[in-house]
Amino acid sequence: MPKYKRRGVRRYLTQAPKSKRHYGQKKVLRKGCNRMTTQAPSLVHDNNNLSQAVDENVIDGFQNCFDNIIDQTPGSTQRQVAGQSLKQTAGLAIEEPFYGFQSGVLLPGSHCRPIIVLSLYDGVSSGLVALNKLGIPVLRYFSSEICENALRVQSLRHPNVIRLGDVKDITSEVLDSLGKIDLVLAGSPCSDLSRVNPRRAGLRGGTGLLYFEFVRIIRYLQDKYTKENHSVKWLFENTCHLDKDTLLQMNSDMGVPSKRCSSSFLPVTRKRFFWGNIAGLQHDTVVRKSKLTLQDCIDGNKTAIISEARTLTSNRSGQRCVEYEGKREFFSPTDYERLQGLEAHYTDANLSITARIKLLAKGWCIPVIVDILSSLVPIFSHS
């Protein structure tokens, strides 16, 4: 047998010579000890010394690159004001500053009285964003949500929200302690209700059972406030891809729904059913196309291939509708936020891209909610 085919010979022939091999950190003998110890590099714990150790030329180079990136980004003026100098954070983790969400008032609702809102399955508090855009003052906003990622966004964007935890834990005693609620917002999970899911459990299993919690709460409030001569407005949302039995059950509990599509306001198709006792909700709106195009709602360095996107879901496999440097790309979280009517970086609460996409796919389209709740402005202003 040739020598190079013997067992173990090829391994030695392919290795570097012993003089060129690296065996890790140099081992030294500590004085007064017979054991061999590894010499580790010294760590600087003093931030002042660490800041002085950073080369000023390197920091200036990072600062120039950071300023160039900001100048090419929409809203660069606000970002420069909110940003921190990299020289102040020398030696620390260099991150892009976080920008707070500021809602603009679309309708003159500042003359309305403050209201108390109960939001079930609240998510990222899209209902509160819509009320802020309408200018309706909120005295107390009670939120029922258990998703940890949604709670992180909620605590960062709306720290004054009062959390109630799981919707199943909201008993009649809890409802009595909340005061006179003026508005109830809800949108139960649709993963087990949509026909798109072949493994759906329907209303009798999985997350579909959460729908009956809303029915229980709204019936209790209506019976209670009827005796107190107080009217509570409510809005319930779910997907329009419901099977026949589920739709019949919901219609028997809440009446005939109204079908709305986000394409009337934004370049994305998202059809939803809405139930409620809000004026004008019993009739479908006239379908009109938004004047915005998909190019207006995506990042500036991308090119839209189509003019209108399909329904936004947590699965981005079919959402390669943009090009970047000649390659097909998925929608980014900021694209999702703009297509849902939110401010860019609204869900940027130190979450992964997948986590942000899932939160946004489950959320509401803000312009649609604003259009529905706009009829409440004269009601709350005269009550």
One-letter amino acid identity for 204?
R
Confidence of residue 189 (pLDDT cuts 50, 70, 90): very high
Phi-psi region of 193 (alpha: psi -120 to 50; beta: other; left: phi over 0): alpha
Please give the Cα distance from 304 to 254 (Å, whole number). Answer: 40
Residue pointed to by tokens 């600087």: 44
DSSP-derived secondary structure letter, 291 = S
- Residue 316 and residue 331 in contact, taking contact as beta carbons nearer than 8 Å: yes
pLDDT at 100: 28
Q: Which long-range contacts (CB under 8 A, 24 or more apart) does 14-19 make?
A: none
Residue 296 scores a pLDDT above 50: yes
Q: How much is the mean pLDDT over the chain?
A: 76
Confidence of residue 30 (pLDDT cuts 50, 70, 90): very low
Please give the Cα distance from 236 to 253 (Å, whole number). Answer: 12
147 is catalytic: no
pLDDT at 280: 74
pLDDT, tens only, 269-290: 999 999 999 987 866 555 667 7
Specify the higher pLDDT residue, 320 or 257: 257
One-letter amino acid identity for 211?
Y
Please give the Cα distance from 242 to 247 (Å, whole number). Answer: 6
Residue 343 scores a pLDDT above 80: yes
Q: In terms of pTM, does the model score above 0.85? A: no
- Residue 197 and residue 178 in contact, taking contact as beta carbons nearer than 8 Å: no
Specify the higher pLDDT residue, 21 or 266: 266
Of the candidates 33, 112, 147, 190, the residue annotated as catalytic is 190
DSSP-derived secondary structure letter, 239 = E
pLDDT, tens only, 96-115: 222 222 333 344 455 788 99
pLDDT at 37: 38
DSSP-derived secondary structure letter, 112 = S
Query: Of 210-214, 262-266, 325-329, which gets the smallest average pLDDT?
Result: 325-329
How many Cα neighbours within 13 Å face the side chain of 156?
Answer: 18
Give the helix/strand (H/E) hosting 248. helix 244-254
Confidence of residue 208 (pLDDT cuts 50, 70, 90): very high
Query: Of 260-269, 288-297, 347-356, which gets the smallest average pLDDT?
Result: 288-297
Query: Of 54-63, 206-215, 287-296, which gets the smallest average pLDDT?
Result: 54-63
Strand (E) positions, the chain?
Answer: 27-29, 36-38, 115-120, 138-144, 162-163, 183-186, 233-239, 258-261, 271-276, 303-304, 322-324, 327-329
Please give the Cα distance from 178 to 166 (Å, whole number). Answer: 16
Q: Which residues pair with 38 in a beta bridge?
A: 27
Residue 92 scores a pLDDT above 90: no
Confidence of residue 75 (pLDDT cuts 50, 70, 90): very low
Q: Which of 42, 228, 54, 214 has its CA nearest to residue 118?
A: 214
Query: Of 26-35, 193-202, 212-221, which gets the smallest average pLDDT?
Result: 26-35
pLDDT at 221: 96
Please give the Cα distance from 60 to 58 (Å, whole number). Answer: 5
Q: Which of 12, 311, 6, 364 has its CA nearest to residue 185?
A: 364
Residue 83 scores a pLDDT above 60: no
How far CA 93 is from CA of 50, 56, 142, in Å, comes to 12, 16, 36
One-letter amino acid identity for 287?
V
Please give the Cα distance from 378 to 340 (Å, whole number). Answer: 26
